[in-house]
Structure 1
Amino acid sequence: MKKIVGLVGTNSEHSTNRQLLQYIEKHFAQKAEVTLVEIGNLPLFTKPTEKTLPDAVRQLALTIEGADGVIISTPEYDHAIPAVLLNALNWLSYGIYPFVDKPVMIIGASYGTLGSSRAQAQLRQILDAPELKARIMPSSEFLLSHSLQAFNEAGQLVNPDMVAQLEGLFQDFLIFMEITSQLGNAHEVNQKLAENVSWENR
C-alpha cells in the first residue's frame, strides 16, 4: 500500500483544506495510507548561515522522504498560496531536498468560485524550482469551490460529481507514483543540481 503525505497548506484552525485532506484520508483508506502533516508549527524562515535546521523542519523532511508521494491542499489568499506554505517550502529546500523527484498532487479548496485555481498555478511554479524539483502530476487540478457548503456534518463531500472527479484523480495519482518510482535514473544528478543552487547569487 502506498504511503502518502497529506500536507495541510495553511495554519488556520478551521480550514476546509484540512477537511478535504481528512476526507481523502478516510475515503481512500483501503487504497493508500494517507498521513496528514501540519506546517503551522514551523518557525519563520530566516536563512540561517550555517544551514542549521529546526527539528520540526528535519522531521517534516524525513516524513516526506519516507512517503511515496505528497498531496498538498492549498487555500488561496490574494491570488497566491498562504505565507505559511511558502515558509514551509523555503525550509524544505534549504540544505535538504525531500521534494526532489517526489510525486506531488496539488488540490485546493476555497470559499469562492475559483477553488484556489491561481494559488494552485503558483504552487506548481514553486515546486518546479530547481531547489525543489518535484514531479507534479500533470492535468490534475482539483478545485473545490464554495467549500463551506461542500461537506456534510459527517465530513463527507456532498457533490457526487466532485467525489467522482477526486476518485479518478486519486487513482491516477496511484499510477503516477508507480510510474515515477521507475524514473529514478537521474535522481542523484537532480539531487546534486538542487544542492548546487546558490541562494547568494540570485
Structure 2
Amino acid sequence: MKLIGIVGTNSDRSTNRKLLQFIQTHFSDQAEIELCEIKDLPAFDEPEDQTPPITVKELSDKIILADGVIISTPEYDHTIPAALKSALEWLSYTTRPLIDKPVMVTGASLGSLGSSRAQAHLRQILDAPELKARLMPSAEFLLGHSQQAFDEKGDLIDQDKVNELEENFEEFLQFVKMTEQLLKNRSKKNTKPFSWEV
C-alpha cells in the first residue's frame, strides 16, 4: 500500500514531522509512506484560471497516486496552522485530489491536549464539498508533551502510545481497503462544477 504523510506545518522543528517519520519507519513493512512538506507552498492566492503553482501541483499528483493520506497537525490558537489551511485551500480551489481519498488525522503538540481541537477543526475542513475526503471515523491519535515523547533515535518512548498508534494504523489500512471496495463500481470523481461555480 502506498501512503503519503503531510507535515501540517511550516516549522523546521516540528514534532509532527517527527511523528510522521516514526510512522514511516515503524510501519515500513506494511506500507510505503512518503513524507510531504507544505513549507515551500506559497500562501493561497485565488488564481483566476484555477491553475495551481507547480509545488501545489506536485503535492496534488502525489495525493492522487496514493492509496491514502495521513495528515499530522499541531495546534495553534485552538486550530490548525495557517500554512496547512492555505495548502488545503489550494487543493480545494484547483485540483481537488482529496475527494474520496481515505485520510487519517494525527497530531502532536507541546501541551497536554495533543492537538485535539485542531484535529476536530481539520476534520470539519476536510468534510467541505470541495475537499470531501473520506475520513477514518472514531479514531484519533493525540500526542501531548511531544517535545519529551521521542528518544534520540526518533522513536516514541511511551509503549502505550505505540500500541495505540499501531491499532489506529491497522484500522486505517482496513479503512483504505473498505473505501476502495465502496468506490469500486462508482465513477472515479464527480467532475461537474459545483453550483456556485456555474
- Which category describes the TM-score, using the shorter chain as reference length? over 0.9
- 2: distance between equivalents of 1:120 and 1:186? 29
Deviations 1:49-94 (A, max 9, x none): 1112101111110000000000000000000000000000000011
Match of 1:192 in 2: 191
- 1: distance between equivalents of 2:52 and 2:156? 38
- 2: distance between equivalents of 1:136 and 1:78? 23
Q: Matched residue of 2:160: which SS?
A: helix
| Superposed displacement of residue 121, structure 1 | 0.1
Match of 1:78 in 2: 77
- 1: distance between equivalents of 2:194 and 2:44? 20
- 2: distance between equivalents of 1:72 and 1:191? 24
Task: State the percentage of identical aligned residues.
Answer: 57
Deviations 1:18-58 (A, max 9, x none): 00000000000000001000001111111011112101111
Structure 1 runs not aligned, ≥5 long: none
Q: Matched residue of 2:191: which SS?
A: helix
In the TM superposition, 1:40-189 aligns within 5 A as 40-184=39-183, 185-188=185-188
Scaled by the length of structure 1, the TM-score of the pair is 0.94
- 1: distance between equivalents of 2:3 and 2:196? 30
Structure 2 runs not aligned, ≥5 long: none
Letter in structure 2 aligned against 1:53: P
Alpha carbons 1:130, 1:197 under 8 Å: kept: no
- 2: distance between equivalents of 1:144 and 1:49? 40
| Superposed displacement of residue 191, structure 1 | 2.5
Alpha carbons 1:137, 1:173 under 8 Å: kept: yes
- 2: distance between equivalents of 1:59 and 1:154? 30
Scaled by the length of structure 2, the TM-score of the pair is 0.96
| Superposed displacement of residue 199, structure 1 | 6.2
- 2: distance between equivalents of 1:90 and 1:33? 27
Alpha carbons 2:114, 2:143 under 8 Å: kept: yes
| Superposed displacement of residue 97, structure 1 | 1.2
Moved over 6 A (4+): none
Letter in structure 2 aligned against 1:146: H
